[in-house]
A and B are shown apart, each in its own frame.
Chain A
Amino acid sequence: MSLGTLARVALGELERAVMAQLWSADAPLTVRDVHDRLERELAYTTVMTVLGRLAKKGLVRQERDGKAYRYAAAASREQMAAEVMIDALGDVGEDRTAALVAFVDRVGPAEAEALRRALDTPAGTPPPTPPRSPES
């Protein structure tokens, strides 16, 4: 099954599933690892293409490990959620670039402050880069 024949909705769903595997993994995964963990009828090349797309978007980091590439999420799920919220909230603030995300209707200032702190002090939160595992 080539990506061209996949509906956009299916592709989005696939990206979510692949990302979920990377988020739940302790270490960077190879395409084969992700393919096996997904437990569904998918071509190896499809998984590879999805990982490539995610890497191109900057949401997944690609690192060379011998002959194979290993993939890891660029940020944890919590960090990504925080970034989204701050992006959305930033529209209200003065110092933000623009009508980046237009038209925020409502957010709690306490939550905004907590999110900002969470991003400013990465020490307290899980490290942004998942630990490498050279021995595997």
Chain B
Amino acid sequence: MASVWLTGLALVLAGPVPALLARARWTRAVPRAAIVLWQAVAVAAVLAAVGSALAAPEALLRVLTHPQDRTGVPLVIAVGVAALLASLIVVRLLGVLVLLAVRTRVRRARHRDMVDLLARAEQNLAVGSLRSGTVLRVLDGAVPFAYCVPGRVGREGRVVVTGATLDTLCPDELSAVIAHEQAHLAARHDLVREGFTALHQAFPVVVRSREARDAVALLLEMLADDAGRRTHGDTAMAGALDAFASSGASVDANDEVLMRRDRIRAHVRGGRALAVGTYLAAVALVVVPTVTIVIPWLGEALPVVGVR
């Protein structure tokens, strides 16, 4: 039975749950808790898939043969098949994760080097008040544009803005944008994102890994927006987003910026109850299946293979 339950759980967590969660609007009120919930869904889905792979052959064997025959060669085959299926999932995910991490870091290092060389030195001094360990770089550019490049081991991250950003934004708005980028760097939002990117690369079809990645990316932006709001006010943060959005033609990314602006203007902010409920749901997602399905199954399955 464990196998059936785990397979069902894995399917639900890989399909309908991400689809619903990606469409939910309440998550915008509690971005931090919602990101944790997304992570819990991802972890629970992977664990359930691995668990169902491990449990399936044993369950099949139980159906096909009599209990007294479950020794020797059939058991070895069953355990072997289970291990193979489970390790396929794990190895695939880990492989993608390692490859992605290496590639990302190599390209980031190159990007940092190039940004450092291209930066307009005289402009860098004009914008002060940066948290230590972060470097601001101003590039030539006619479009208002801001992003950050994480540094090695969380230090020396770069906040990059174009010259047009300095010209377009008022000082408060600029400070809010910098606070936004610094929030990304300080809380290592890139690692959260990297996890969901790896998940999508490892399992690109069937499962809703793309929705998960994109929804988490948007929530991370909102979380960083909230950091800008806390230090420089709603008006400055919304004004900056407005300036970014209104300076170019409409694209998908632009719609997201407008969505974030409107969220700030509508003063969307979740209550404590919603956040606590979301965190509890996240914990439950990982703990409940383990306690109700996996532990009872281990109690049955381990004695069969001689582990007590």
Contacts and interface: CB of A to CB of B under 8 A. Distances in A.
Interface of A: 12-13, 15-16, 19, 57-59, 77, 80-81, 83-85, 87-88, 91-92, 97-111
Contacts of B203: none
B224 interface: yes
B103 A97 contact: yes
A41 to B, nearest CB: 19
Given A109-B249, A110-B249, A103 B224 contact: yes
Interface of B: 100, 103-104, 107-108, 110-111, 113-119, 121, 139-150, 160, 177, 181, 184, 189-190, 193-194, 197, 201, 220-221, 224, 241, 244-245, 247-249, 251-254, 257
B249 A19 contact: no
Contact of B121 (A16, A100, A109, A110): A16
A85 B149 CA distance: 12
A81 B111 CA distance: 10
Given A98-B104, A99-B194, A59 B118 contact: no
A88 B248 contact: no
Contacts, number: 115
A18 to B, nearest CB: 9
Contact of A103 (B100, B141, B184, B194): B184
Contact of A81 (B118, B247, B257): B118
B107 A103 contact: no
A106 B245 contact: yes
A92 B252 CA distance: 9
A102 B184 contact: yes
Nearest to B141: A85
B140 A100 contact: no
Nearest to B201: A98
A107 B144 CA distance: 7
Contacts of B251: 109
A15 B117 CA distance: 7
B117 A106 contact: no
Given A97-B100, A102-B184, A77 B118 contact: yes
Contacts of A97: 100, 103-104, 107
Contacts of A100: 104, 107-108, 111
A106 B116 contact: no
B190 A19 contact: no
A81 B278 CA distance: 43
A83 B114 contact: yes
B249 A59 contact: no
B113 A105 contact: no
A102 B144 contact: no
Given A99-B104, A107-B145, A110-B249, 19 more contacts: A59-B113, A77-B118, A84-B111, A87-B111, A97-B100, A98-B100, A98-B104, A99-B190, A101-B108, A102-B148, A102-B149, A102-B189, A103-B148, A105-B177, A106-B245, A106-B253, A107-B143, A108-B143, A109-B249
